[in-house]
Structure 1
Amino acid sequence: MIQALAVFTVLGLMLIASASFLAHAADRIADATGIGRVWIGTILLAGATSLPELATDIAAVKIGAADLAAGDLFGSSMANMAIFAVVGLFVGKLTPPGRSAEVMALAALAMLLNASAALFVMLRPTSILLGVAPQSLLLASVYCLGMYALYRNRVRTTTVAAETTPTSHHRRLYPALLQFAMAAGALLVLGRPFAEAAVRVSEISGLGTTFVGTLLVGLSTSLPELVTSITAFRMGSSGLALGNLFGSNAVNMVVFLAMDLADRKAPIFAELDPSHSATGLFAVILMAIATAVAVAPASRRATLGRWLIATVYLLGILWLQRSGSGSG
């Protein structure tokens, strides 16, 4: 048990180190391109910090631990909102992202995807289309359409600024992209051994894989989001942090398609324990509260909202512990 936890801890620390480089690189990319921090956080930063989920969950599915993978995805969505609350309560006073409509649209997309995935888990559909569950294809399609809509809206408002961007900004872009790619690659490489360590801990602890996947793996694979969000807020880039957190919750649901492609034995949603739908519901509730807080983060109601997020998160974890122990 000690050895498994030690490996798990070391890999987590390596994830943290890589994430700190990601945040600084993403901020420089946003400056150089002029696209905006919310969109950069949504696409680049969220995509990169979700690489541990991608690698971890594909590896988990291949070794027959689909429930661990699903618990990781929904648990990560919950953990990201807990990160949002903790950063606001203890790191310092936050400022509005500047484009609250853009953040609200992103949050709505993330809630729609998580709620849909939770519904699919509850229904356990067995239909197949093109070798995978049509529901996983639907989640990926909705995500792509949502990202395209956000991109088009952002580009229309930054065209003039992009035309006047100094040449020096373009020269700074390439080193930032290189640093970003290297850090993202490190996160991807760490995914598989991280999944194996999590499965080992679950086997030794005797707890159900549903609980371990949601709490242990979900929290740990959210370490990149935690580190990048704290770094972004301290740099004054609240849009980058919010795009990262809500964007990660959206892209996590696309991982169901990757899991489906990795395991062709049966449609992915037909293999999962229906209890994961409750985890998805908790994630949606947390995102709804966080959206209201993000619009006016400096108000007294926002502080109450952050404490409410922490309370709902803990209630969700307690429920998952009981159900996970029962199934383990």
Structure 2
Amino acid sequence: MAGQATQESILKSQQKCIAIFALLCCFAVLLALMFSAVDVWVEEEDGITEENCNKNCRIVLVENIPEGFSFSSNATTHLPLTVALNGLLDLAKWSVEIVSSQWDLTSLEQQTDYFSANESSPDLFCAKDRTRDIDAIQRVILEAKKFIYVSVTNYLPLVWKTSNGQQLTRYWSIIDEALREALVLRRVRVYLLISLWKKTHPLTYNFVTSLKSLCLGLENCSLDVKFFSGPEENYRSNRKKREVNNNKYIVTDNSLYIGNLDWVGNEFTFNAGNGLVIKSAEGKLEGRPTILDQVKAAFERDWFSHDAKRLQDLILSGRTAGNPGLHPVKSEIRSKDRKVMRSMSL
């Protein structure tokens, strides 16, 4: 009797184990189905699949032209920024995700000191397998074969640091040296279009003059610099907020970089940002301009506009910040600039 009771007890225990195991399997299958359903729902919500992206995604250059700027009737124009933003909002079905370093819904000027408004080091924010902005810019400059167009709000290869209550300044050479190498060693033509506004540092003129001096006496070495500003009457007026060109991009004969970090040492050293690199694809479709072509056209439109002036012209008109140490190198103004730039784009 005792042996029979023991066998029945063992049999019941085995049945319980089987039942528990079956329940666990059912629970696991149920969880898998739930997560699978969630994934499918999210995929349908966002619509981000390789097939959908290949069919429906496109990239378009948009820009914002403020009041006071005017171009010729045949100048290149692109989709207005506000129209593009409203279009994206209209297309959204479930969610809108916005990443912005500054969000101002009023026209009041910010009182932040540009050169001291530092945030976090980009190295700490750079995720694994993601390229840093400065590395991307270096690669775009390195791979340029014919020309380099640069349009930035500020160009100042310096870093300010505070140590023991004292402000220390040092030369930040990464981009500056990359441009010098492209000019002198590879004979790539470089065009710098820098914004002229109330926060343009006087040392900017010295650095661009130093770059221009590299090509003195060197064949096939060409660097041209212009400063882009608003209308003359706005500059001389007492308006607190003046128009400024906020472009931050570099386009070459084969690549494009668009970012949100200004070309100032402190920006890349202390601030976090993001950017986009686009390279020209093989077998471009005839009759359909690429995004690189669109950005080139926008740069050349700004470059040849009456709002872009060379340093000598700005000094003569008194529109540069006072800098007694500034001795610019006089450069020849070529009448065939436009033809040269067009030929390099071919």
TM bucket (normalised to shorter chain) is under 0.3
Give the number of the structure whose residues are more often strand, by fraction.
2
Q: TM-score, normalised by structure 2?
A: 0.26
Higher relative contact order (Cα pairs below 8 Å, separated by 6+ residues): 1
Which has the higher Rg, Structure 1 or Structure 2?
2
Q: TM-score, normalised by structure 1?
A: 0.27
